[in-house]
Amino acid sequence: MQGSILYRILPALLLGLLVSFPVHAQSNSQLSVEDAEGALRSGMQSLRAGDAPGAIAFLTPVIEAAVLPADKSAFALFYRAAAHQRLSQYLNAIRDYNQAIALDAMSPAVLAMSFYNRGLSFEASGKSSSALNDFSRALAINSAFAQAYNARGDIMRKLGRHQDAIRDYQASLRYRHPQPHLSLYGQALSHAALRQKALARSALERALVAKPDYKPARDSLKRLDQGGDLNAAAPRRAQEAYRDASAAGDGGVVTGSISRAQQTGGADQWRTRTTGNAAARRQARGQRVAGNNGVGATGSIPRAGRTGAYVPGPGYDAAARTRNTVATTAPAPPGTFLIQLTARRDEAAARNVWRQMALDHSDVLGSLTPYIQRVELGGRGTMYRLRAGPFAVRGDGDQVCRVLRARGADCFATEAGP
């Protein structure tokens, strides 16, 4: 009797399984492009709001459906990787970053972020050599990436390459790392390891000026005054520093710094695809940096977002088309403001300046339109002004110029027009 009941029920159960599984498998493959784009936006917003599991839930069907073009698929992989990274799921993060990079569909700005974020995941997994390579690749693409300099400096210091570490920390400060006390503290540890006590003291004092309540620097300064070894206590101070940074909100997703003008301009930079940028990507992928997986005696200090991820800010959108790769000779909208970056005798030279600056400073120039303005100077000949914008108010242009001048570039804001 029981056998006959089972005989009658079993086919129905098997039929139910055969029907249910194809429906589930097809649900992602049948995801429309419109729905996939909506889920991508929701995943990006979830991650920026701090909901990493929610971001993964939105982005996974998008990735599995494979209905979006390569650039948007790369963005979905990039954001899911960042979500895994925030959850300390480093192997999953590395796998997604690998796939995103392999698609060769990201702009230089996001490609640099991908290498930087993957480097953080490698470092957290104990693979210092791979992390070192990735930080260097990020810098080969974006030479003004302060966080990448700081990250590479940390590894250089751990490997005992203190002069290299100091150079990277100085570059991090030169390009305005948002938390300069971390670079200054690492610099102090390297100076101490080189027996440069006065320089170590100076770096610690500057770290305390930047962040007066930074306990690791304060404790190290006391230890230095007592004739102790700064690096002997570095591992313990590292954990304290990490807790301090996490408590201050530094351990999560770090968003790019975006001016008001960039927020209104959208994500034009994220899909830059030019011959020069492709060459930069090839150069970055081919670069190799000597190193090993060992850890030096100087211990470790945390960076802001050590286990987080650097992602584009909320003013950017993966679907926006780039408009800023080629400078236009059309006039800027009347009543607006521009920033002037250079003036050259040759128009081609002015255009080349823009191509390089757009790559080096994509975080601040990515959403701006470049303008080439020809000016006749009478007996002095013809000049070609390279300007970018437009800005609704001069103050927004001044803000961008302050960042560029801090990085060593020339810049001033001016009214649009001749």
| Residue 237 in this model has a pLDDT that exceeds 50 | no
Burial 119-154 (b: 16+ CB within 10 A, else e): bbbbbbeebbbbbbbbbbbbbbbbbbbbbbbbbbbb
Contact 256, 314 (CB under 8 A): no
Q: Which of 149, 147, 203, 139 is nearest to 178 (CA)?
A: 147
For residue 180 the two structure tokens come to 């300069």
- Confidence (pLDDT) at 352: 87
pLDDT tens column, 98-125: 999 999 888 888 888 999 999 999 999 9
pLDDT tens column, 391-410: 888 888 898 899 888 888 89
Contact 357, 409 (CB under 8 A): yes
| Residue 244 in this model has a pLDDT that exceeds 90 | no
Nearest-angstrom CA–CA distance, 172 and 183: 7
Contact 106, 95 (CB under 8 A): no
Q: How far is CA 284 from CA 97, 142, 146, 371, in A?
A: 15, 10, 17, 29
| Greater model confidence, 199 or 297 | 199
- Confidence (pLDDT) at 343: 93
Confidence of residue 211 (pLDDT cuts 50, 70, 90): very high
Confidence of residue 258 (pLDDT cuts 50, 70, 90): very low
Mean per-residue pLDDT over the chain, rounded: 75
pLDDT tens column, 34-81: 999 999 999 988 988 889 999 999 999 999 999 999 989 999 999 999
Nearest-angstrom CA–CA distance, 122 and 290: 16
Q: Which residues contact residue 25 at a Cβ distance below 8 angstroms, ignoring those fewer than 6 apart?
A: none
| Residue 375 in this model has a pLDDT that exceeds 60 | yes
| Overall pTM > 0.75 | no
pLDDT tens column, 358-370: 877 776 787 788 9
- Confidence (pLDDT) at 96: 96
- Confidence (pLDDT) at 266: 27
- Confidence (pLDDT) at 305: 37
| Residue 154 in this model has a pLDDT that exceeds 90 | yes
Q: Give me the domains of the chain, ranges plus CATH numbers.
A: 337-415 (3.30.70.1070)
Nearest-angstrom CA–CA distance, 94 and 105: 17
- Confidence (pLDDT) at 396: 83
Confidence of residue 280 (pLDDT cuts 50, 70, 90): very low
pLDDT tens column, 322-350: 445 566 777 888 888 999 999 999 999 99
Pairing of strands 369-376, 382-391: antiparallel
Return the number of other C-beta atoms located less than 10 Å from residue 50's C-beta.
12
- Confidence (pLDDT) at 361: 78
